[in-house]
Structure 1
Amino acid sequence: MSLGEETKGGQSGGIVCAGNFIVDRVHTLSYWPEQGNLTHIAHQDIGVGGGAANVVTDLSSLGFPGRLSAAGCLGDDADGVFVRERLSDHGIDVSRMVSLDRAATAHTHVMSVPGQSRTFFYHGGANDDMTQASIDIASCVSQGYRLFYLGYLMLLPGLDKLDHEGRSGASRLLETAQKAGLLTCVDFVSSEDPAFQRQVEAALPYCDYVIINEIEAGRATGVTVRDSDGVLLPDAVLKAGNSLLSGGVKRGAIIHAPELSLWLERGCEPITTYSLAVAVEDIVSPVGAGDAFCAAVLYGLHEGWPSARTAAVAHRAAAHCLGGATATDGIPHMSVLVEETKETEQAFG
């Protein structure tokens, strides 16, 4: 696969990434205090996160050849300005980012103690107020965009809520995008909300592709995908994928786990791709690996690449992401991933 010769995007087409945009403040603590006590913040990092933010930024880092647009809601505040500036620095169109004066920009305070787990304090803010009316699908089509990504379902209350007809705002937004000719791709968040399965089921018939992890696939379908020891059950993952297709997903279900990915597409044999071995000492942070995988899949779908090759490249993107400190660090240009994939094929082929 030769970039520039076999890609079809050129400067045409493009991807709109809609959904969560969050300002992340990562505080490194000297220790975790007991309730009512004080601890010192040794260091603070600030960045932009969230499903749509990570994916669209990763696509930019991959050197996606078409246009990229971010769509969502921000507060009319300094954090909102910060998000716009960060995305614009990556060459991403932010004209579809709506500013709301009644809500703050979504933000998370991440409390991290070195060598221990992290704790997240999240305020949904403007993300919670995103609705179907927040995005002008007609303008996406008129400007030549071809693919519409929405992430994350189950972390966008204004889109997830079911109405009296059993439909969600997400399902209506995706239906509008499909009818307008856009390829719709959706990701979920690993929520324990008891309404998870019903709200996801409402959106499935309007998804061309779902790109999710094994936990989300299990919760969306009621299938147990790991045994009591946490071991992945490949046959169960296959069952969950088939259930997603039966639930109405139009084209394909792509399920990724730390061990492997499964690509199920209507009319095709399932494709299993095993993950790359990454040494523990080379892993800086696992945050964002799933989004990196998703971004590479969107790249391949937009460009019409074969599914097996796209999956292999997506695993490479996730492996590189593990070596970065944030969700979007460590993502190389797509040409690097393609070359690495070729080298692997030559070594084992």
Structure 2
Amino acid sequence: MSAGQRRGFLTGGTWCADHNKLLDRWPVEETVTRILEESVEGGGSACNFGIDIRRLDPSMPVATIGCVGDDEDGRILLRYADDNGIDRQGMRVIAGGRTNYTDAYSARDTGKRTHIFHQGTSALLSPDHFDFAGTTARIFHLGLPGIHDVMDNAWKGEVNGWVATLKAARAAGLETNFELLQIAPERLRELAEPCLPHLDTLVINDYEIGAITGTQTTRDGETDIAACEAAGRQIMERSAVKVLAIHFPRAAIAFTRDGAVYRHPSVNVPQSEVRGANGAGDAFAAGFMYGYHEARPVPDCLKLAHASAAASLRSVGTTGSVETAERCLALAEGWGWRAMPNT
């Protein structure tokens, strides 16, 4: 099948059950804080991205590949896929397995989030689970390196399973996108750097671009935009990535293969609307990649990415408040845009 005949997304990698807890504040050790509300919802890059794409455009085909256990969390995730119209024929249910789960805490007073996870069946995911023979999707979205034991290690002559899987996807005619995780920077660079030659697009945050380039891109909790731009140029110079997007709370930057650099500020979300930031990065990536899939200009992709992320902030869970692309953009326009920060 030619690239022009392909449509839709195939997600692969992390499916986990998010045990979301909204706290009044983040506690210091040996003190008590109160849980204001809690829920169990779908989480992980393959889950969140896929659901967000379907919410942005309910007509867009999305299929997925991953591993869950035959426990209650696994059943919740399968229902999430079904309820959101995701083709889950590629999902593997591991008998006797414990589904990957995350205790996802959001502090109401700051909006910051803290994740404590159990790897579970994600440890068993391998390149052998990825069968691309029958897919008609155009874009393959893969993640997350650092929390999948088999994928994180050498595989049949390749430096890791991520490289093996990305190469197989490209050989099958798919465009590839990679999602990262904020693990130790040295480990993130070790896992992600070998994947760069096998990517068409890359959508990451300020921490992640710093980690994979060995650059300090955040200082005292603030984004060093000039350092992010320099790191982005490094990636474009030493890879074949067609489009690179770097996002951070106040704005985002995108680079294209022709040397162009685009910048767009984030949405000025009223603090009263913010319930939690869990899943905002996935929502940004989904908005950007949906725009890319639909051949929208890169500045419009950045705008939709910010709008999708802004909409997602209205729920404690990862995907509950993402709406159609048109509604997300209308919401963003209503709230307005921040001023673009100086580099």
SS in structure 1 at match of 2:142? strand
Change (3 A) 1:166 1:277: same
Q: Are 1:125 and 2:120 counterparts? A: yes
- For residues 172-251 of structure 1, the aligned pairs below 5 Å read 172-192=164-184, 194-227=186-219, 229-251=220-242
Q: Are 1:160 and 2:155 counterparts? A: no
Aligned-pair distance for 1:78?
Answer: 2.5
More moved, 151-160 vs 123-132: 151-160
More moved, 330-339 vs 168-177: 330-339
CA distance in 1, matches of 2:333, 2:113: 37
Contact 2:206 2:228 in 1 (8 A): yes
Aligned-pair distance for 1:49?
Answer: 0.7
CA distance in 2, matches of 1:104, 1:48: 15
- For residues 6-85 of structure 1, the aligned pairs below 5 Å read 13-27=7-21, 43-85=37-79
Q: Which residues of structure 1 form unaligned runs of 5+?
A: 1-8
Q: Are 1:283 and 2:283 counterparts? A: no
More moved, 309-318 vs 271-280: 271-280
Contact 2:186 2:211 in 1 (8 A): no
CA distance in 2, matches of 1:38, 1:265: 48
Post-superposition CA distance 1:82-122 (Å, at most 9, x none): 21111101111111101112531111234567648665431
Identity of aligned residues (%): 26
SS in structure 2 at match of 1:189? coil
CA distance in 1, matches of 2:41, 2:333: 33
**How does the TM-score come out when normalised to structure 1?**
0.85
Which residue matches 2:140?
Answer: 148
Change (3 A) 1:113 1:177: closer
Post-superposition CA distance 1:257-307 (Å, at most 9, x none): 111111111114111111122222221111111111111112112111111
Contact 2:270 2:335 in 1 (8 A): no
SS in structure 1 at match of 2:218? coil
SS in structure 2 at match of 1:158? coil
SS in structure 2 at match of 1:157? coil
Q: Over aligned residue pairs, what C-alpha RMSD do you find?
A: 3.1
Q: Are 1:138 and 2:133 counterparts? A: yes
Q: Larger radius of gyration, structure 1 or 2? A: 1
Task: Find 1:266's aligned residue among 241, 257, 278.
Answer: 257
Which residue matches 1:105?
Answer: 99
Change (3 A) 1:252 1:246: same
The code of the aligned residue for 1:75 comes to G
The code of the aligned residue for 1:320 comes to A
Q: Which residues of structure 2 form unaligned runs of 5+?
A: none
The code of the aligned residue for 1:283 comes to V
Contact 2:267 2:332 in 1 (8 A): no
Aligned-pair distance for 1:127?
Answer: 1.0
CA distance in 1, matches of 2:201, 2:29: 45
The runs of at least 4 aligned residues of structure 1 exceeding 3 Å deviation read 27-35, 37-44, 110-121, 162-166, 337-345
More moved, 116-125 vs 266-275: 116-125
Task: Find 2:295's aligned residue among 283, 299, 304.
Answer: 304
Change (3 A) 1:279 1:83: same
Which residue matches 1:4?
Answer: none
